[in-house]
């Protein structure tokens, strides 16, 4: 084991024949053991983007090359604005032009955008090929690489076109986080913080006590945050893979957040920033529905501010801002016949899904936007 590999932790996702492990540790990319027992094939395709390729493509290529006759790479343009059909097609173009067969293994090397698009490509290329998630952002290590949601955006809505399709393995090399810009670290912390109010208040207390260490990228603190987040996500996904019920709690803050992302144009606010702000709105709604006290909302806000996140939503439409948010939220995947469903906090550490009166939702948006 190379000296810089200080530990390896594993979290299991139990889904019958779709079960897999999440490997978490420092230096995993270059550690040969990480890549033992991969799906067998002649060919592998690394899918990455133009920011991550110069940083980590060579190390991944070297590490997996002994397992395949050919390793190809396709480099996508970076950014949420490119999470679309046109960019997805670049993956299919590369697979077909290289003659990749139905056993070809895809490696998603990057953040949630690369991971979601590679997963969707894997779900649909030749009706399904195996793929491995190699997440390199905090957000993708604690959330998007786990659980098999894959998608691209549509100009009218976030993640509207996609599939449930599980990876064969997730490899979270914490060492890759060293090159992550500060703003992206904060965005990832939003999804870490999310797990506290919805499922685990002791974890929220731990985050409150360790937020400065997390912001300073303390390796032990990051390792615990990634592991505990993955454990909670594994617990939820293991019970409700296709979001028939429980899994919706993982969307705390997302209904409002997706309205911010789509409303401003994809990529203007980062996904984690929109989710963080959306959690404030969802907590405020929970308070107005009589489920949590004002102190809980204030506590969540303080933690998000300490994580470097915005807590006031943008004004997207000066004439009717609340109306603009609501129009976007009616397209949310949880909406039923246009009735918006919100993930609300039913009490600290416990989330549920419910509707809310339009007037109340309007008041929340007006109170929470700049």
Q: How many CB atoms lie within 10 A of CB 179?
A: 12
CA 368 vs CA 178, 278, 311, 365: distances in Å: 33, 9, 8, 5
Instruction: Give bridge partners of residue 246 from the DSSP assignment.
Output: none
Show the binding pattern over residues 129-158: x = contacts ligand GLY (CB under 6 A), - = does not. --------------x---x-x---------
Give the span between the Cα atoms of 365 and 326, in whole angstroms: 9
Contacts with 350 (C-beta within 8 Å, 6 or more apart), sequence order: 198, 199
Q: Does 83 bind ligand NAD (CB under 6 A)?
A: yes
Q: How far is the CB of 152 from ligand NAD (least distance, A)?
A: 9
Answer yes or no whether residue 207 interacts with ligand NAD by CB under 6 A: no
- Both tokens of 369, joined, read 């936007």
Stretch near ligand GLY under the rule CB under 6 A, chosen from 61-69, 222-230, 247-255, 307-315: 247-255
Cβ proximity of 279 and 260 under 8 Å: no
Of the candidates 306, 309, 347, 334, the one whose C-alpha atom is nearest the C-alpha of residue 196 is 347
Q: Does 251 qualify as catalytic in the annotation?
A: yes
> Does the annotation mark 127 as catalytic?
yes
CB 266 within 8 A of CB 158: yes
Per rule CB under 6 A, is residue 113 in the interface with ligand NAD?
yes
d(CA 300, CA 313): 15
Q: Which two tokens stand for residue 11?
A: 């979290």
141 lies in the site for ligand NAD, by CB under 6 A: no
With respect to ligand GLY, which residue has the nearer C-beta, 153 or 321? 153
Residues 29 and 180: beta-carbon distance below 8 Å: no
Q: Which residue sits closest to ligand NAD, CB atoms considered?
A: 112
Active site residue 191: yes
Is 241 among the residues that bind ligand NAD (CB under 6 A)? no
Residue with the closest Cβ to ligand GLY? Answer: 250
Interatomic CA distance for residues 16 and 30, integer angstroms: 30
Binding-residue total with ligand GLY (CB under 6 A): 6
Residue from 250, 297, 311, 340 touching ligand GLY (CB under 6 A): that is 250
Any contact of residue 91 with ligand NAD (CB under 6 A)?
no
- The yes-or-no answer on residue 243 being catalytic is yes
What pairing do the DSSP bridges indicate for beta strands 105-110 and 70-76?
unpaired
Residues that bind ligand GLY (CB under 6 A): 143, 147, 149, 247, 250-251
Residues that bind ligand NAD (CB under 6 A): 49, 51-52, 55, 78, 80, 83, 110-114, 116, 136-137, 139-140, 143-144, 147, 149, 159, 176, 179-180, 184, 187, 271-272
- Which residues are part of the catalytic machinery? 127, 149, 191, 233, 243, 247, 251, 254, 258, 271
């Amino acid at each position: 084991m190379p000296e810089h590999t200080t530990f390896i932790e594993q979290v299991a996702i139990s889904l019958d024949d779709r079960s897999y492990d999440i490997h978490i540790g420092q230096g995993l990319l270059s550690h040969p053991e990480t890549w033992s027992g991969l799906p067998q094939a002649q060919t592998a395709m690394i899918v990455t983007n133009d920011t991550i390729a110069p940083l980590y493509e060579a190390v991944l290529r070297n590490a997996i090359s002994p397992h395949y006759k050919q390793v190809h790479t396709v480099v996508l343009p970076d950014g949420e604005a490119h999470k679309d059909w046109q960019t997805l097609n670049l993956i299919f173009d590369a697979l077909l032009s290289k003659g990749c067969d139905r056993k070809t293994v895809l490696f998603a090397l990057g953040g949630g955008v690369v991971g979601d698009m590679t997963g969707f490509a894997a779900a649909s290329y030749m009706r399904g090929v195996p793929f491995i998630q190699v997440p390199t952002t905090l957000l993708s290590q604690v959330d998007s690489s786990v659980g098999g949601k894959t998608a691209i955006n549509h100009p009218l809505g976030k993640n509207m076109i996609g599939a449930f399709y599980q990876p064969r393995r997730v490899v979270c090399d914490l060492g890759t986080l060293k090159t992550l810009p500060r703003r992206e670290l904060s965005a990832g912390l939003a999804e870490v913080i999310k797990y506290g109010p919805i499922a685990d208040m002791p974890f929220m207390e731990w985050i409150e006590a360790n937020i400065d260490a997390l912001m300073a990228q303390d390796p032990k603190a990051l390792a615990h945050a990634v592991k505990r987040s993955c454990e909670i996500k594994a617990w939820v996904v293991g019970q409700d893979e296709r979001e028939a019920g429980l899994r919706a709690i993982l969307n705390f803050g997302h209904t409002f957040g997706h309205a911010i992302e789509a409303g401003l144009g994809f990529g203007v606010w980062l996904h984690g920033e929109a989710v963080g702000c959306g959690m404030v709105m969802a907590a405020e709604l929970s308070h107005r529905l009589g489920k949590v006290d004002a102190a809980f909302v204030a506590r969540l806000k303080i933690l998000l501010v300490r994580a470097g996140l915005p807590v006031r939503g943008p004004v997207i439409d000066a004439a009717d801002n609340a109306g603009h948010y609501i129009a976007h939220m009616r397209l949310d995947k949880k909406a039923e016949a246009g009735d918006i469903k919100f993930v609300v906090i039913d009490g600290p550490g416990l989330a549920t899904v419910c509707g809310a009166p339009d007037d109340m939702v309007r008041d929340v948006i007006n109170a929470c936007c700049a």
